[in-house]
A and B are shown apart, each in its own frame.
Chain A
């Protein structure tokens, strides 16, 4: 059939090309490309003892008081999505980063970058949501800034919030406290936020009633602290999802993590859309879910506390910290009992062809 029987013996292969010299979307995707940028540029120039901890927020003392401080920018499209809008997200995201340090969040700053032509009515809706979200999480916006950019120089509205909170002196929550034997909990089902956003985008005509899980986590974290659970590390499962969070912690803590696929809950509709697009829900973003590394003896009690909330009904113990490891590694036991690596994503998840 072929002209030449040895077609395959003369195979050739693409030329490699060097790494990019411009920023691509992958640099903000929460995967390896972004981590490389952080390591090679930000940490290279800005390294210090506090930032080197690479936590969700910075933890430091002023006098006798221990503080947590964090900042985050919100560039979501669409601005209004099922289950929330950019305003709530900007409050909860920063409140949650502080909560992941074991802090009680107190005050936020609010920076707005608004594109010329943005509707005042929409802005008001967003600010009302910010007020609601602040009340719900018990924080206040105490300073702010507004900038307007020309039409087509922004995407409607960008928001930055920074937040500060206080930490009880005896609380030490950070990857460096993670130890072999720790149990790993997840606070609910996964993937709702990312899929709610995807299905709200105009070019995807999915009919679903998935709403974002965006919610403040300081209440539930405080409950764990009040119950004297020995928490070693907390991390919210935002961009990059559970898989990226576990990989970051395993690298930073220098440990091996083993989790079981069976124990992780994903909503039917979320799974359905992930199947269609070729996404793995373990990499999809959440805005109201976190993972907790706790001492083994406290794990059942911690699970009970997580499950006591409606949004935590699918909370579960999903795995264990098994050993020390220089490089850190996350393995997942598949439903068939075979082990595979749960790696970090390279860049963004891209919908596949077929």
Chain B
């Protein structure tokens, strides 16, 4: 397949692995931000092929994993309403709230639909004027522009029966929170390529300067990741700290200006809670006052929710890279994709799910 196979070429991968081996002299810890990258790393066995000196830890960049449990509970409450058509990206349906998940709400007969684009949900609202249509607007900077576009379209068409349940998070504040933590071990980051497609990488320049840490904007195919690792190691070994762009075929410094404009039109920055991590200042997006009539939380009065989460699962430590899935005592036994204790096991991009799918269970049990 064009533009994909080139980045999965095993001969070139071998060349990169050799190049990484040649330049690696010290122990280094690199965090890949995005769950899509984690998935590629484990699927292609990259973590087993790179030199032992390099420790890859899996960051919080999976929107499914970090959506707070309160939002899931709110989604479940809104969706359990006979007058509502609740639309969501597919992999949010399995995420456990406190007592249930959206798949179970659907099984009870409520109208829960998988939407492939938020704009589809706007069209559903147009076709079903007697129903309230709610879209579960989750994700990082990558999905924020299409979600903003949906609100913009609904506003333009004066649709009164459309709203969104917003749970948007931003990458740079999370990176800073990780670096500010006293337990931080991360020495370099592979930044999430698709987030940077939208936002560019200029907002990372001050992080690089402030924390003196190399960041490489990296894609998702195995060769992208190997090249990204190579670029991180080269900087670390040469004692440089710069923002570099491995994913130059898609990402520019300025990013997608149009996408940023529509985001700015609809959303504003707010403090946000991350599942398994806690509140991070200025790390989320909410609807501007001008568009508050599209805020599903206000429309359905689901506002003051607070849930005390169990401490059994270590996904919080995994999301900040302090532990790996195999360190968890209940991994693969009490906690499986069929009966997930934590969001990192539910989402197809979650680190636990990737380990469960691709790693040898014998190894798991031994650990």
**A347 touches B (CB below 8 Å):** yes
Contact A16 B89 (CB under 8 A): no
Per-position contact with A for B185-203: 1 when CB-CB < 8 Å, else 0? Answer: 0000000001000000000
Question: A29: shortest Cβ distance to chain B, in Å?
Answer: 11
Contact B49 A8 (CB under 8 A): no
Contact B276 A336 (CB under 8 A): no
Question: A154: shortest Cβ distance to chain B, in Å?
Answer: 15
Q: Which residues of A contact B44 (CB under 8 A)?
A: 334-336, 338
Question: B361: shortest Cβ distance to chain A, in Å?
Answer: 7
Interface size on A, residues (CB 8 A): 52
**B264 touches A (CB below 8 Å):** no
Question: B326: shortest Cβ distance to chain A, in Å?
Answer: 13
Question: B310: shortest Cβ distance to chain A, in Å?
Answer: 4
Per-position contact with A for B285-320: 1 when CB-CB < 8 Å, else 0? Answer: 000000000000000000000011111111111011
Contact A275 B342 (CB under 8 A): no
Contact B316 A12 (CB under 8 A): yes
Q: Which residues of A contact B108 (CB under 8 A)?
A: 22
Q: Which residues of B contact A11 (CB under 8 A)?
A: 276-278, 315-317, 319-320
**B183 touches A (CB below 8 Å):** yes
SS class, residues of chain A in contact with chain B: loop
Given A2-B176, A13-B310, verify A350-B91 contact (CB < 8 Å): yes
**A65 touches B (CB below 8 Å):** no
**A251 touches B (CB below 8 Å):** no
B81-103 CB contacts (< 8 Å) to partner A: 89-94, 96-100, 103
Complex: A11 Cα to B68 Cα, angstroms: 12
Complex: A13 Cα to B69 Cα, angstroms: 9
Contact B93 A350 (CB under 8 A): yes
Contact A352 B120 (CB under 8 A): no
Interface size on B, residues (CB 8 A): 94
Contact A353 B45 (CB under 8 A): no
Contact B181 A8 (CB under 8 A): yes
Q: Which residues of A contact B1 (CB under 8 A)?
A: 268, 271-272, 275
Given A24-B107, A346-B338, A351-B91, verify A14-B313 contact (CB < 8 Å): yes
**B13 touches A (CB below 8 Å):** yes
Interface-forming stretch among B137-145, B150-158, B229-237, B250-258? B137-145
Q: A352 is contacted by which of B8, B69, B89 (Cβ under 8 Å)?
A: B89
Complex: A19 Cα to B177 Cα, angstroms: 35
Contact B336 A346 (CB under 8 A): yes
Per-position contact with B for A273-306: 1 when CB-CB < 8 Å, else 0? Answer: 0010010000000000000000000000000000
Contact B63 A14 (CB under 8 A): no
Contact A204 B116 (CB under 8 A): yes
Contact A20 B309 (CB under 8 A): no
Q: Which residues of B contact A6 (CB under 8 A)?
A: 181-182
Closest to A22 in B: B107
Contact B103 A335 (CB under 8 A): no
**A32 touches B (CB below 8 Å):** yes
Complex: A234 Cα to B47 Cα, angstroms: 36
Given A17-B96, A22-B107, verify A340-B42 contact (CB < 8 Å): yes
Q: Which residues of A contact B97 (CB under 8 A)?
A: 14
Q: Which residues of B contact A271 (CB under 8 A)?
A: 1, 4
**B341 touches A (CB below 8 Å):** yes
Complex: A69 Cα to B309 Cα, angstroms: 51
Contact B177 A2 (CB under 8 A): yes
Complex: A14 Cα to B70 Cα, angstroms: 10
Q: Which residues of A contact B42 (CB under 8 A)?
A: 340
Per-position contact with B for A1-31: 1 when CB-CB < 8 Å, else 0? Answer: 1110111111111111101101111100000
Q: Which residues of A contact B182 (CB under 8 A)?
A: 5-6, 9
**A33 touches B (CB below 8 Å):** yes
Closest to B313 in A: A13
Q: Which residues of B contact A32 (CB under 8 A)?
A: 336-338
Contact A343 B107 (CB under 8 A): no
Per-position contact with B for A59-79: 1 when CB-CB < 8 Å, else 0? Answer: 000000000000000000000
Q: A15 is contacted by which of B178, B222, B310 (Cβ under 8 Å)?
A: B310
A314-354 CB contacts (< 8 Å) to partner B: 327, 329, 331, 334-341, 343, 346-347, 350-354
**B74 touches A (CB below 8 Å):** no
**B64 touches A (CB below 8 Å):** yes
Complex: A47 Cα to B336 Cα, angstroms: 27
Complex: A327 Cα to B364 Cα, angstroms: 14
List 6 A-B residue pairs with CB atoms under 8 Å apart, sorted by A's residue number.
A15-B69, A16-B313, A203-B114, A329-B362, A334-B43, A353-B89
Residues of B participating in the A interface, judged by any CB pair closer than 8 Å: 1, 4, 8, 10, 13-14, 36, 42-46, 48-49, 63-64, 69, 89-94, 96-100, 103-104, 106-108, 113-116, 120, 138-140, 142-143, 173, 176-178, 180-183, 194, 222, 275-282, 307-317, 319-320, 322, 334-343, 348-349, 356-362
Q: Which 8 A-B pairs have the closest CB atoms?
A: A338-B45, A11-B316, A350-B90, A12-B309, A346-B337, A351-B90, A13-B313, A340-B358
Residues of A participating in the B interface, judged by any CB pair closer than 8 Å: 1-3, 5-17, 19-20, 22-26, 32-33, 36, 203-204, 268, 271-272, 275, 278, 327, 329, 331, 334-341, 343, 346-347, 350-354
